Structure 1
Amino acid sequence: MKKPIRSLLDYLLLTILVSVAIILTLYFNGNKLFQQVVVIGLSILYIVWGILHHLKEKTLRAQIVLEYVLFGLLGSLVVIGLLK
């Protein structure tokens, strides 16, 4: 498979994961614990997705892993803070 198509499929998967997480968060509006689990789960999936994406592209470095971990953590903290 060509590189642009493979990257497009990677980003399509990420878009689907984020969309499902948003829908689940909105559907379970009254259940704060479940919403937090969904947000943390999405953050973990985002980190794993980023690592796998860069492994396939052969561009994985420690700085990139740290970036994904920090953005995942920051995103989770912001969203969970907004949900309270």
Structure 2
Amino acid sequence: MSKKVLKGIVRETIIHHIDYLLLLGASVYTVAIALLKQENHDAQRTVIALYGLFYMIWGWFHHRKEKSFHIKVLAEYVLIGLLVIFFAFSFL
């Protein structure tokens, strides 16, 4: 394997991990804010709804960048994001 190919693989792997670190960071931030705002249900709903939207957009960008984007993948991210928003407004 040439150095150029190896560098490309390492670069793609790092970028792939950065994408997931961004998603993890947003998830941790959302949970932290939701826990800190336990008495303010409107703030919790807002933060969780924004996370649901972020998740949908993140999935779209991530799979477009990875060249693994299909309409089924988009549908999965949209459905999960909408479920998050639905549960936020139903149970808070």
TM above 0.5, yes or no, is: yes
Larger radius of gyration: 2
Runs (4+) of structure 1 moved beyond 2 Å?
Answer: 75-83
2:68 pairs with 59, 62, 67, which one?
Answer: 59
Deviation at 1:67, TM superposition (A): 0.6
Q: TM-score, normalised by structure 1?
A: 0.89
Structure 1 match to 2:5: none
Structure 2 match to 1:40: 49
CA contact (8 A) 2:52 2:84 kept: yes
* Percentage identity across paired residues of the two chains: 31
Deviation at 1:79, TM superposition (A): 4.2
RMSD over aligned Cα atoms:
1.4
Structure 2 residues not aligned, in runs of 5+: 1-9
Q: TM-score, normalised by structure 2?
A: 0.82
Mapped to 2, the partners of 1:79 and 1:7 lie a distance apart of 29
CA contact (8 A) 1:24 1:35 kept: yes
Number of equivalences: 83
Structure 1 residues not aligned, in runs of 5+: none
Mapped to 2, the partners of 1:5 and 1:80 lie a distance apart of 36
CA contact (8 A) 1:43 1:75 kept: yes
